[in-house]
Amino acid sequence: MSLLETAQMAIQNIFSSKMRSFLTMLGIIIGIASVMVIIGLGNGMEVYMTEQFQAIGANTLEVSIMGRGSSRNADEEDLYRIVADHPEDLSLISPTVSVRSTAKVGTETLLFTSTTGVGEDYFTIKQYTIAQGRGLQYIDMDKRLHVCVVGQYIADEYYNGDAVGQSIRVGGTKYEIVGVMSQEGDTLEEGGTDDVIFLPYTTAARLTGTEVTNYTITVVDESRATECRELVEDELTEIFGSDSAFTVISMTEILNMMTEMLNVMITILAAIAAISLVVGGIGIMNIMLVSVTERTREIGIRKALGAKERSIMAQFVVEAAVTSAIGGAIGIAAGYAFSSLASSLIVTLLDTNMSVTPTASSIALAFGISAAIGILFGYLPAKKAAQLNPIDALRYE
Amino acid sequence: MSALIEFQKVCKYYQMGDTVVKAADHISFQIQKGEFVAIVGKSGSGKSTCMNIIGCLDVPTSGTYLLGGNDVGSLSKNDLAEIRNKMLGFIFQQYNLLPKLTVLENVEVPLMYAGVPKPERRQRALDALEVVGLASKLKNMPNQLSGGQQQRVSIARALAGNPAVILADEPTGALDSRTSREVLGMLQNLHSQGHTVVLITHDNSIAVTAQRIIRLEDGQVVYDGDAHAPEAVVSHNDPWLERGSAS
Ligand SMILES: Nc1ncnc2c1ncn2[C@@H]1O[C@H](COP(=O)(O)OP(=O)(O)OP(=O)(O)O)[C@@H](O)[C@H]1O
Ligand SMILES: [Mg+2]
């Protein structure tokens, strides 16, 4: 008797008592669906997080100098030299100076606009492109020119999209707008990524009256982020004679750490959900044991007609496996339904376009696990059925 | 040539508390190929016990059972299953059809376990149902048939595998007298076509359908011979008989 025929027989049997079969499968259905939603949620979160990091530059080192009040300090030249000395590891650098003074266009105050002083490579580092006019250049830094680049939001909102050549006031000083950035955010909104003003960092430092303390450096190879961070730390330690006067943060390392934490969390959640798979398996075992008892006479008849132990065994194991595989398939469908439901809920409630996306491999795994559970928990009842003595089984009422 | 079925001092004992029930007590006989034998006896005389042993559903406590010259006692469970499948066809009092399968599928079951490919299996099942006159009920479920029809399905099922021996345990026990005659006629037909038939019954009037009678009493053979001899139909320990002979 072929496996295919055994499976056909099993399916026939399962469909002959639909309600009971469905209830038997329920544990597996719930287990598979919840594992899928959780893994999908984890995937969605990871993708979302990586995207967010990519937006602020995942391949960067953020350097912050606190100083020690000692005579020796690290200035822009030191930092530029560190980058220039290690072309194989470090590529670009830009100081960043955040300006707290509010900006004004005519008499209107731009309350939520963020103003930052940056170097000429900042736009390349951030992968920002210039839509109109030009970006900031070395000459602007060198001469401390009163020029700036504004985001698309400002250009659209205050200059009807024609901002180049116009002026804007920051902290009472007038700046000429020399360029407009292309739109960066999904939507143009107040206080968003497009509501920004960039000044030459030298100009900004004079405006705020502080020294430059923050730098963004890009690394050549993201997979060597840790080595690059240590390299910059070593250089700065040499300058300060101490490693407590500065911090260097690698965005790649932070992203990796967060991804790892997320994965641990998702694994734990999935494991908890997987417990219901085990419960589902026990449910199948329970029903199969009842079914073996109910069908004792059938087993006796089959044995009298020449069924071998392994045929009876196969019949019950396959029935359990098919039951739980069907449960798995329904679970996968339910998992999909709940995932898309969760995705649309997240979009409407949280206003982020994070999607719950179950991966193909997680689905294949879920299906495999459910069939395996059927075989595992079907084994014991099947063994019991196969070992029934034909004469006792035939006499059973 | 050796006998098809040979019992050599076959015993089957059951321990019930501290008494031993001797369901079969040193039973010896031979059945040749092509014979039609009835095993008769009162209730509890050990008929079903014999039938279960002949049918390889049960093994004797002691003694030897040779089927086609092979000692069944030395075979594994798997071999026994194979023998039941290939050499034996069962007809039970309770029909014992599988309720979730159609008539045709029921007849196919032994062929399926024999590994007969599907088209051939179907054809042989159809042929067997033709023989018992049920070719029009192929798609019916067992519970849609009368008792007599169900018993004919089980005859077809026993026949389909073309076994060496057809074993019938009280095949007419649940049928009225007219249907009983029909079923017995069918067994006689099978016999005349060369099949070996072993019929088990407590009813003398049914036993005489066979050529030969083996009478059991308390697990022992008390008569073995021609079905039409006058001693064949009387019980040896019958108190009425004893009183009759005493007077
Ligand atoms: N599994 C068993 N356990 C204990 N005793 C048994 C068992 N099977 C049969 N017996 C006993 O063995 C004896 C013979 O039983 P058997 O079933 O062979 O009788 P029978 O001739 O078929 O009777 P009937 O015509 O009522 O079917 C009986 O006394 C019965 O009680
Ligand atoms: Mg009996």
Confidence of residue B114 (pLDDT cuts 50, 70, 90): very high
Question: So what's the pLDDT on residue B191?
Answer: 93
Q: What is the DSSP string of B49-84?
A: HHHHHHTTSS--SEEEEEETTEEGGG--HHHHHHHH
Q: What is the mean pLDDT of residues A328-356?
A: 87
Q: Whose CA is closest to atom 22 on ligand 1?
A: B48
Mean per-residue pLDDT over chain A, rounded: 88
Whether residues B86 and A1 touch (CB distance < 8 A) is answered with no
- Quickly state the pLDDT bin for B218 (edges 50, 70, 90): very high
Is there a domain that residue B167 lies in? yes
- Whether residue B125 contacts residue B49, with contact meaning beta carbons closer than 8 Å, is answered with no
pLDDT greater than 90 at residue B107: yes
> Is residue A348 predicted with pLDDT exceeding 90?
no
pLDDT class of B243 with cuts at 50, 70, 90: very low
pLDDT value for B112 = 93
A129-178: pLDDT as tens digits: 999 999 999 999 999 999 999 999 999 989 998 889 999 999 888 999 99
- SS3 assignment, position A174: strand
Residue B151: the pLDDT is 92
Q: What gap in Å lies between CA A104 and CA A167, rounded to an integer?
A: 10
Per-residue pLDDT at B128 exceeds 90: yes
Mean predicted lDDT score pLDDT of chain B? 89
Greatest alpha-carbon span in chain B: 67
Is B81 within the bounds of a domain? yes
Domain limits at B107?
A: 35-45+76-233
- Is residue B52 less than 8 Å (CB to CB) from chain A? yes
Ligand nearest, relative to CA of residue B23: 1
Report if pTM > 0.90.
no
Contacts of A13 in chain B (CB under 8 A): 100
Rounded (5°) CA angle A364-A370-A372: 100
Mean pLDDT (whole number) for A59-67: 87
Distances (CA, A) of A332 to A20, A319, A339, A365, A366: 20, 20, 10, 11, 8
Q: What's the pLDDT at A188? A: 85
Q: What percent of chain B has pLDDT over 70?
A: 94
Residue B242: its pLDDT value, please?
Answer: 44
* Residue given tokens 């098809």 in the structure block: B4
Chain B residue numbers with beta carbons less than 8 Å from the beta carbon of A16 are 100
Report residue A363's pLDDT band, with 50, 70 and 90 as the boundaries. Answer: confident
Give the residue on B whose Cα is nearest the Cα of A10. B100
pLDDT in tens, A225-274: 889 999 999 998 888 888 888 899 998 888 888 889 989 998 898 888 88
Which pLDDT belongs to residue A72? 64
pLDDT, position B244 = 40
Task: For B104, list phi and psi in degrees, rounded to 5.
Answer: -60, -45
In this prediction, residue B78 has a pLDDT band, given cuts at 50, 70 and 90, of very high
User: Would the CB atoms of B113 and A302 count as touching at under 8 Å?
Assistant: yes
Testing ligand 1's pocket by substitution, the residue of B48, B53, B59, B92 carrying the most ligand atoms inside 8 A of its CB is B48
| Per-residue model confidence (pLDDT) at position A277 | 84
Question: Has residue B176 been placed in a domain?
Answer: yes
Contact B124, B160 (CB under 8 A): yes
Question: Once rounded to an integer, what is the mean pLDDT over residues B96-121?
Answer: 93
Q: Within a domain: residue B135?
A: yes
Give residue A192's pLDDT band: very low, low, confident or very high (50, 70, 90): confident
pLDDT tens-digit series, residues B158-212: 999 889 999 999 998 888 888 899 889 999 999 998 899 999 999 988 898 999 9
Is residue B140 included in any domain, yes or no?
Answer: yes
What CATH number corresponds to the domain at position B193? 3.40.50.300
Q: Does a structural domain hold residue B60?
A: no
Picking from A360, A363, A368, A354, the residue whose alpha carbon sits closest to that of residue A334 is A363
Question: Whole-angstrom Cα distance, residue B24 to residue A313?
Answer: 32
| Angstrom distance (rounded) from CA B131 to CA B152 | 9
Number of H helices, E strands in chain B: 8, 10
Whether residue B149 lies inside any domain: the answer is yes
CB A165 within 8 Å of CB A229: no
Q: How far is Cα B36 from Cα B46, in angstroms, rounded to an integer?
A: 19
Q: Measured between beta carbons, which residues in chain B are less than 8 angstroms from residue A298?
A: 98
What does the pLDDT read at residue A71?
58
> Nearest C-alpha to atom 6 of ligand 1 is from which residue?
B14
Long-range interactions of A2-5: CB distance < 8 A, separation 24+: A3/A314, A3/A318, A5/B112
Evaluate: CB of B202 within 6 angstroms of ligand 1.
Answer: yes
What is the tally of structural domains in chain B? 1
- Specify the pLDDT at position B241: 47
- pLDDT score recorded for residue B93: 87
The dihedral region occupied by B40, where left means phi > 0, alpha psi between -120 and 50, and beta the remainder, is beta
Task: Please state the rounded mean pLDDT for residues A186-190.
Answer: 83
B203 in a structural domain: yes
Task: Check residue A119 and give its pLDDT.
Answer: 93
For the stretch B129-142, pLDDT in tens is 998 999 999 999 99
* Residue the block writes with tokens 């790649």: A252
Other CB atoms within 10 A of residue B136 CB: 9
Q: Is A165 exposed, middle or buried (0-12, 13-18, 19+ CB in 10 A)?
A: exposed
